[in-house]
Structure 1
Amino acid sequence: MPILQASVTPLPGGICLRGQTAIVTGASNGIGTEIVLQLLEREISTVILAVRNVARGEAARTALLARPSVKKANPKAVLKVMELEVEDYASVQRFTKAFLAEHSELHLLMLNAGIGVLKRDLVSNGHEKHIQVNYLSNVLITLELLPLLNATADKTGKPTRITWTGSRMHNVSALAKGKVPLKPGESVLGHFDSEDSYVAFARYADSKLLCLLFLFELRKHLNGDKVIQNSYCPGMVNTGMSDVLPIYLRLPMNLVKAIRARSVEVAGWIALNAAVVVGPESHGQFLEDKNIVEGSPFIKTAEGQKVQKMLWNETIDELSKLTTIPGWMKKV
């Protein structure tokens, strides 16, 4: 890992999002709040802050609307806070149902909410928390809102967008590194729910690998004519994500961040590049900073392709209990 990260150029001028509606998950702090700010500065009409803590979301909303740059560029912006607890399928469905009841268009879905902790934990449905929050709930949100994204594209004549906050860390997944391979007869989701497979320092990477495997399989079944879907990694960013670490890890991590971490503003440039600048060539692709890259070498191996197909099929089985699976999403 290089000591310093590569420089990133600002977004091009002239981006105007007037008349558009966006959802940003995990929008109450860090990169999520910065994404909302940069959308507002580019005159977006409506942004939904989808957050687990409504009080913090409202505080972020108040602070954003008070920013001089927002008052100048977008004084009539509609900024609404909605509760979304991504570790709970029921909360995801309450959120999507409420959004669909109130809005007839959706142009941009930014799946930014995520966790990265060291302690193993299971959510109420039995899945390991990282896998639920960072992967499964994001797929459910996508499937629930995809019909509206398609309809908006038909109405406007332009593709709508879904972009996931991903990570280069997927390269060091315990699965990709062969530390904890799938056992014969073991399912992918079952593997990651199992205590035996849990490697604390690799679980965040595991979840991000699953996100990318899903995206790479999705592009085989769905083109980007109506909805362009991609994922981006903003690199190391100076946010509070490391605050959950124990003190003996937090202090050295904060030192590393002080030397090499990017500002949230730069992370916002990278996020909006994926969301509104790059075109159809980015559909089903992973971007490191602003560049489309291949992803982990593991993904191209026979084992990686096997896991990708297994995950796709298991995700269909999992989510078919909750939502209507579109016709293009067939098992492989």
Structure 2
Amino acid sequence: MVNVLAPALLSLLLLPNLRAAAAASSSRPGDAPKPHLSIVSSGLYEMAKFPERNLPSGERLNALNDSKRYVQSDRYPTSKVINLLWVRELASRVSNEGIIVNAPTPGFCKTELMRDTSGVMGLIVKLTMLMVGREASDGARCIVEAATVKEEDSHGRFLSEMKIKAETAMVTDEEGEKLQKDMWKEIMDVFAREGLLVQVT
């Protein structure tokens, strides 16, 4: 669950600096930019099955670490769902602090990320990359814009192709809102057990 825990912990560790930057920008006259925190997402989150979400609160991360439940094709999309839930909850907790938190995706870019994929899957990936892959610089531009100039309307939101994109029901409906709070608690419990707890109001 590196894709989940690492960005979550880093975001908490950055909060004091983001708060200091927000205080400094609010004391400056004019349109001083607000500090941004962007956790890189992926449109593949929309394909997540994430059956573990139906487990009782407190059991999901353990289930995701259970090798017997491992489904390779669903792990990456599921990790991106949890990232987005984290972004939304963190955004709600810092919404009055002058910090913008969002989740941009660079899209499917022509990079060496899948270089070790071989066989039929490797061929499919390479052909798809040739046909619809965007240049890495275009993907990077999406991340840089989200992390620097996107305004308050991007706070707590998923961004694709430099635009705010409506999130799926898995994230936004009543169950999604409960899952958001539950996953926050589960992740914070992991940090507490490991002695990494950072207080966030």
Call closer, same or farther: CA 1:322–1:181 in 2, change over 3 Å: closer
1:185 CA displacement: 6.5
Once the 2 structures are TM-superposed, how far is the Cα of residue 250 of structure 1 from its aligned partner?
Answer: 1.0
CA–CA separation in structure 2 for the residues paired with 1:253 and 1:287: 24
Deviation at 1:163, TM superposition (A): 0.7
Report the TM-score when normalising by structure 1.
0.54
Residue 173 of structure 1 corresponds to which residue in structure 2?
48
Moved over 6 A (4+): none
Q: How many residues align?
A: 194
SS of the equivalent of 1:325 reads coil
Partner of 1:141: 10
Deviation of 1:244 (Å) = 3.0
Return the match for 2:112 from 240, 251, 266. 240
Q: Which residue of the partner structure matches residue 36 of structure 2?
A: 161
Residue 326 of structure 1: SS of its match in structure 2?
coil
Write the distance in 2 (CA, Å) between the matches of 1:301 and 1:325. Answer: 28
- In 2, the alpha carbon distance for the partners of 1:167 and 1:327 equals 26
Residue 312, structure 1, aligned to residue 184, structure 2: yes
Letter in 2 for 1:153: A
What is the CA distance between 1:304 and its match in structure 2?
Answer: 2.6
CA positional deviation for 1:294: 2.3
> 2:12–2:200: 8 Å Cα contact kept in structure 1?
no
Structure 1 vs Structure 2: percent identity of aligned residues?
Answer: 25
Flag structure 1 segments of 5+ consecutive residues without an equivalent: 1-130
Change in Cα spacing, 1:139 to 1:246, as seen in structure 2 (3 Å) is same
- Secondary structure of the corresponding residue to residue 39 of structure 2: strand
SS at match of 2:49: coil
Paired AA for residue 22 in structure 2: A
Aligned counterpart for 1:189 among listed residues 61, 67, 79 = 61
Q: Which amino acid aligns with 1:135?
A: V
Pick closer, same or farther for the CA change 1:185–1:231 going to 2, 3 Å: closer
The question of 1:249 aligning with 2:124 is answered: no
Distance 1:296 1:267 in 2: 22
One of 229, 240, 243 as aligned partner of 2:101:
229
Query: Which residue pairs with 1:212 in the alignment?
Result: 84
Q: Which deviates further from its counterpart, 278-287 or 149-158?
A: 149-158
Check 1:297–1:272 CA distance in 2 against 1; reply closer, same or farther (3 A cut): same
Task: Return the letter of the residue paired with 1:253.
Answer: V
Kept in 2, the 8 Å contact 1:144–1:323? The answer is no
**Residue identity in the other structure for 1:326:** Q
State the 1:210 CA deviation: 0.4
1:277 maps to what in 2?
149
- Which position in structure 2 is the counterpart of 1:300? 172
- 2:36 is paired with a residue whose SS is strand
Report the AA paired with residue 18 of structure 2.
Answer: L
TM-superposed CA distance for 1:246, in Å, is 2.9
CA distance in 2, matches of 1:181, 1:153: 35
Deviations 1:24-65 (A, max 9, x none): xxxxxxxxxxxxxxxxxxxxxxxxxxxxxxxxxxxxxxxxxx
Alpha-carbon separation, structure 1, partners of 2:136 and 2:199: 36
SS of aligned partner of 1:250: helix
Measure how far apart 1:209 and its partner are: 0.5
Any idea what SS the aligned residue of 2:145 has? Answer: helix
TM-score by length of 2: 0.87
Give deviations 1:206-242, integer Å, cap 9, x for gaps.
1101000111122222216432111111211101111
Q: Secondary structure at the match of 1:266?
A: helix
Cα separation, 1, equivalents of 2:114 and 2:96: 35
1:285-327 Cα distance to aligned partner (Å, 9 max, x none): 1101111122122123443333222111111111234334224
Any conservation in 1 of the 2:58–2:186 contact (CA below 8 Å)? no
TM superposition shift of 1:161: 1.4
Mapping for residues 1-332 of structure 1, pairs under 5 Å: 131-132=1-2, 134-157=3-26, 158-175=33-50, 178=51, 182-184=54-56, 187-223=59-95, 225-320=97-192, 321-328=194-201
Q: Kindly name which structure, 1 or 2, has the bigger radius of gyration based on alpha carbons.
A: 1
